[in-house]
Structure 1
Amino acid sequence: MLNFYLFLFLALASTVDAGAWSRSKGEGFTMTSLQVTAPSFTEPASFYYSNFSEFGLTDSITFGADLGHSVSGESKLIAFLRHPILALKDKHHFAAELGVGEIAGEFILRPGLFYGRGLAHHNSSGWLAIDVLFEHHVRLQKTDFKADFTYGITSSGGFKTILQMQSGRQAGDPKFLRFAPSLAIPMGSATHLELGGSLNLIGEPEYGLKIGIWKEF
């Protein structure tokens, strides 16, 4: 499985990842969201709260916190540092991250690799992103994998259309693949309201709806 994700990361390295860019010193970003998922429209739903925040300690070191649910669906609290490792022709950006924290009460190490590239269109801008994370449970000696592939467009007026493929595998379980499109609606100069959905393509049947607030500061 590790070889599978490394292959995906390398094969798609002509695309991009939002996590590959550092926050400027003193600048930050936070996102709070609520997601509702269910195996069908007639079965009971599950509700998940999450918060993701990051802040530029320097122009090259970003500190962040990730609260919510992990690949396994268990509650998590991860703090991380991210640093750029390579930029090619000022287009292809690579970064590495190391996170530590807890998932379901177990101590976790979470290394990550990121790739990103900005895109320019006639009347809009955009980005491509790949985020690869490894959630290693130290005591249990098992590792869960997650890889997200994102294509986003920022159109006139600040509206953002986001198409994301989410893949991963919890140790001992089959891999999953999920399509998760969303629309981010500007609510001021530094705030967006995100409305989205999700559909499992591989793995257990599951549908989802998401509402979230982004804010830059």
Structure 2
Amino acid sequence: MKKLLLSLTLVAGLSIAALAQEPVKFGVKAGVAFPSMSISTSGISVGFDSRTSFYVGGTADFAISNVISIQPGLTFISKGTKFNGDDFDFEDVSTGSNSATLNFSYIEIPVNLLANFKVGAGKVFFGGGPYYAFAVDAYGKSGGIKEDVDFDEDGFKRGDFGVNFLGGFQFYKGLNVHAGYGLGISSVIDDQEEIDVKFKNKVFTVGLGFTF
């Protein structure tokens, strides 16, 4: 966590320095997300199925040079995963359904370092950086039964941080198409005293954006 905060502080400082050199460009973005989760313990990791969700947000782009820019943002994104099986127990309630979903709604703050290259009618961009996300809502659903997650009692954490990777193409008129991948570093469940268990977010995204 200390290393992440140090990185964010450094990036923020560079952004302020860049602001003095170039005007900031603001943007909006939205698209489809395909989140999933993985659980690991004792060196063994198991991934669960992805589900379909969405994201929407805004960005601010600070140019450091003709090639390099720093792009912090603010995103609302739905993460989680899909489980398949004969039964699914959520808070000891068995629904008998053969599938279930776990759904988290996050406010996410990514800070990306991007490389930009002019190509034809626009530019190609790619890069990545850290993110921090805060869960504003969460629930599990199976067989038409929905149960809200109680963060104080159910062992889930609101905070999540990790790294994300981003790439796409922006036209000179401002429209862009992009894709990204977010990989959670922290576990979204509280530390277990008896066994080391990690439950982490993963999400693939694809969407459209516009820079003003």
TM-score (structure 2 length as normaliser): 0.46
Question: Which structure: larger Rg?
Answer: 2
